[in-house]
Amino acid sequence: MDEVRPSNPMPDYPQVKLSEAVDYLNESYPVWLLTPHGIVVGANRLTNWLWQIRQLNDLLGSNAFAIFRDNLRRMPKHANREFFTKKSAWVKRMSHLHDPHHYDPFIHAMKGDSDLKHMYEWESWEPATGWEDDEWQYKLHIGHPDNDVLPDTLLTFHVTVQRHEEDGGILICYKPHDKYTDNVVRQRYQQLSADSDDIEYVQYHESEVGRKAKGIARSSEIDAVIPAFNQAFQKKFREALQGIIQSPGGSEALEDFRTAYEYRRQFPWLGENAVDGLAYALQAALASYIVSRSVTAEEFAKPHEFGEDANSSIDAEWEERLRIATDATIKEAFSLERFEKRLARASVNIDTIPSSTLQAYIADALERYYNRRLIGLSPDPI
């Protein structure tokens, strides 16, 4: 039987610049970037969680349509007619324009099931009413990715598909469509943020598009010259860190930070072992920090008790070393700018943030350094 092809050879999908796609990949919901053939060249960690891929490296370079095939059991047919018909329209069009073997896994899976075969051959998507008119957006109902959840528990996403202008590749965003899904995704994002030390939240494949996207991501975070607009934040950061040193509430954060630093500097292969190792440690704490909760000045200001026999090691010599590390961090720029952008991405107003609140976020970053870096197994990925 001849396949029914959509009459329009290439619908008017929304377009996105590659630089904008890079920004989308940092969002707190699943997003992946595909080549026109469906090969994954960029993804965030929520994407491999959604599609039950153990490692991001196993996702990058994979065929998205093979991943769809492997997850058909998690997508109830009765609830995903829109997904199946719109994806069928897409693969028929793209297999006609490109080498069809890229789409064979999905096509064979559709034809191997009697109900899906009917959708593939007879119910190719046609405009209806409302937002369903647009082939580039649809609802996806998919089983919960976690194995300890009841198998019939579904998450619902509003999926949007955009084509990036440079090479016609595909950016797909999976935004939670209901409150339950939003809560699940938000909780998972916070978990990933809490253990993001060893793996970057977004990774790129070593392909031409992947390398270009990675270069855009890096260039947005690193500037050889510190931009003038950031100097106000540099000043705030310096004052806030000095405030932590002088505040009773900062004692525990600084003690934990020093404990992890002193431990890690024993290992010759770690950056903490270098002459400027304390600056490296401070930069690692800032660069790897992801805001997973709102931190309040009141929470930070509460003094921590160390017990009657405990003495703080934050002496004059340690304070001076921290001051030197602070100067080096501001000069290095990358880590502080990344910290600033992470705060801004979490809807923290960088321009108006009071010093006391900034102190709380810095202290939280120092505690994260202690919680996640009290190991000497490998260098930090910065």
How many Å apart are CA 254 and CA 318, to the nearest integer? Answer: 10
Sorted by where each begins, the domain ranges of the chain are 15-219, 225-373
Taking 3-state DSSP, the helix, strand and coil percentages for the chain, each rounded to the nearest 5, stand at 55, 10, 35
| Confidence class for position 116, pLDDT limits 50, 70, 90 | confident
Summarize the confidence of residues 235-243 as an average pLDDT: 89
Taking residues 40-54, what's their average pLDDT? 91
Type of residue at 190 = Q
| Residue 130: predicted pLDDT | 43
Instruction: For residue range 286-295, list pLDDT tens digits in order.
Output: 887 888 777 7
Question: Which range, 200-204, 208-212, 229-233, is most confident?
Answer: 200-204
The mean pLDDT of the chain is 78
Kindly report which listed range (60-69, 213-222, 268-277, 298-307) carries the lowest average pLDDT score: 298-307
Stretch among 10-24, 74-88, 270-284 having the lowest mean pLDDT:
10-24
Question: CB-based contacts of 7: which residues, under 8 Å, 6+ apart?
Answer: none
Give pLDDT, residue 32.
Answer: 92
Q: State the pLDDT at residue 309.
A: 40
**Rounded mean pLDDT of 354-369?**
88
Is the pLDDT score of 307 beyond 60? no
Chain segment 21-38, per-residue pLDDT in tens = 888 898 889 999 998 888
Predicted confidence at residue 156, as pLDDT, reads 94
Which has more pLDDT, 156 or 90?
A: 156
Higher-pLDDT residue of 90 and 182 is 182
Report CA 110 to chain centroid distance, whole Å.
31
Closest CA to 371 of 269, 268, 274, 292: 292
Within 10 A of 298 (CB to CB), how many other CB atoms are there?
11
**pTM passes above 0.95:** no
188: Cβ–Cβ under 8 A, 6 or more apart, which residues? 46, 49
Distance CA 138, CA 157 (A): 8
Which class is 15-219 in CATH? alpha beta
Least confident among 155-159, 255-259, 260-264, 343-347: 343-347
Mean pLDDT over 314-342 rounds to 84
Mean pLDDT of the region 136-157: 87
Q: Return the top range by mean pLDDT from 111-125, 132-146, 355-369.
A: 355-369
**pLDDT value at residue 6:** 44
Rg of the Cα atoms in the chain: 24
What's the pLDDT band for 381 if we cut at 50, 70, 90? Answer: very low
